[in-house]
A and B are shown apart, each in its own frame.
Chain A
Amino acid sequence: MTFNYDEYIRPGKLPHIWCPGCAHGIVMKSIIRAIDRVGLEKDKTVIVSGIGCASRMPGYVDFNTLHTTHGRSLAFATGVKMADPELNVIAVAGDGDALAIGGNHFIHTCRRNIDITMIVFNNNIYGMTGGQFSPTTPHGRLASTTPYGNPDYAFDVVELSIGAGASYVSRSTAYHAIPLERQIADGIAHKGFSVIDALCTCPTTYGRRNKLGNATEMLMWFKDNTVGVKAAEKMPPEKLEGKILTGVFKKEEKPEYCDEYAKIIERVSAKG
């Protein structure tokens, strides 16, 4: 089962810029395998990002790619999808990109239910700019901008997406790279807006400051501190304390935005 990534990598682009042990590379590999699993045509696939370490991802892969402005991956992705709904559009963003500066685009894309798959590279920090806290930095954690501990509480990407109306919502981690691949494939195949919360790590600006150990220990933390949502149903609440739930949380068939928009055009043009 050795996977040959060569077909999907732009010649001469590796090694990538990510730090040693940064889990962004593991998530990128899961995305590539998911696209291969679904069998998307390379020329019919567009990968759009904003700005950040995570957003460097499209530069390495051989699809139609857009590296845009901070927080705006979904704005550009929506434009691409509206211009040609036949294209498979995948948006990637860091937690800061997706939920801080891009938070408004995020919630409104959720409620609009446009057929885009969004993968949040959630490392709980602004990695690229040196470790400022993000909307997913847990309460009490250290960041360059919260040197005495973060007084804020983190967004739960899954709850936020469900509340805002996304029709496919799941979570996995870089440790669980194969389930992550399956969820991304599932999200791509789903018609509507899909959000995959991909928990990953930034050993350089987050792990070190919070003394979370080396890159491997940070990955192993996911193994020990996550529980599948189905297994959790059968577990007593005390066993779930402090655990992060993973799995598919929502999968709902509902009208998709491009289809609805096309219907309006048809109806209004018929009237002449």
Chain B
Amino acid sequence: MAEKVRQEETEVAQYEERKIVILPRHCKGCEICVLLCPASVLEMKDFKAHVARIEDCTECMLCEIRCPDFAIEVYQSGKKGKAK
């Protein structure tokens, strides 16, 4: 197992098997994840990304793949929420 190098303070949101983790120390508040999310799951709070509606997450991974700062992780459950 690789040494955990990014496990400082985290903000964890959980809905059934789905989990979204934000690493506030890495987040630079660029809003890319918030603006690209097709289901409005994410919001800005104190200049950082924040998980507001995890139940709606479609598990598309857009936010994780395009976060330039290794600051958001989506653990899929296999059950998709509804994009609005």
Contacts and interface: CB of A to CB of B under 8 A. Distances in A.
Contact of A14 (B5, B36, B64, B66): B5
Nearest to B59: A1
B65 A177 contact: yes
Interface in B36-84: 36, 61, 64-70, 73-76
B3 A6 contact: yes
A5 B4 CA distance: 9
Provide the main secondary structure of the chain B interface.
loop
Q: Contact residue range for chain A?
A: 20 to 34
Nearest to B20: A2
A14 B26 contact: yes
A178 B65 CA distance: 8
B30 A215 contact: yes
A269 interface: no
A15 B68 contact: no
B12 interface: no
B6 A14 contact: yes
Question: For chain A, what secondary structure do more than half of its interface residues adopt (helix, strand, loop), or is it mixed?
Answer: loop
A24 B70 CA distance: 12
A99 B35 CA distance: 33
Contacts of A29: 65, 68, 70
Nearest to A175: B66
Given A6-B2, A216-B36, A15 B69 contact: yes
Interface string A99-113: 000000000000000
B2 A2 contact: no
Contacts of A1: 61, 76
B31 A11 contact: no
Contacts of A177: 65-66
Contacts of A24: 68
A85 interface: no
B36 to A, nearest CB: 6
Contacts of A9: 5-6, 70
A2 B74 contact: yes
A10 B68 CA distance: 17
Interface string A15-29: 110111111111001
Contacts of A178: 65
Nearest to A214: B31
A2 B68 contact: no
Given A2-B76, A7-B2, A219-B66, 18 more contacts: A1-B76, A3-B64, A9-B70, A11-B5, A14-B70, A18-B68, A20-B28, A21-B31, A25-B68, A26-B65, A26-B68, A29-B65, A177-B66, A178-B65, A214-B31, A216-B35, A216-B36, A219-B36
19 contacts: A1-B61, A6-B4, A7-B2, A10-B5, A11-B5, A18-B69, A20-B29, A20-B30, A22-B68, A24-B68, A25-B67, A25-B69, A25-B70, A29-B65, A29-B68, A175-B66, A177-B66, A215-B31, A216-B31
Interface of A: 1-7, 9-16, 18-26, 29, 174-175, 177-178, 214-216, 219
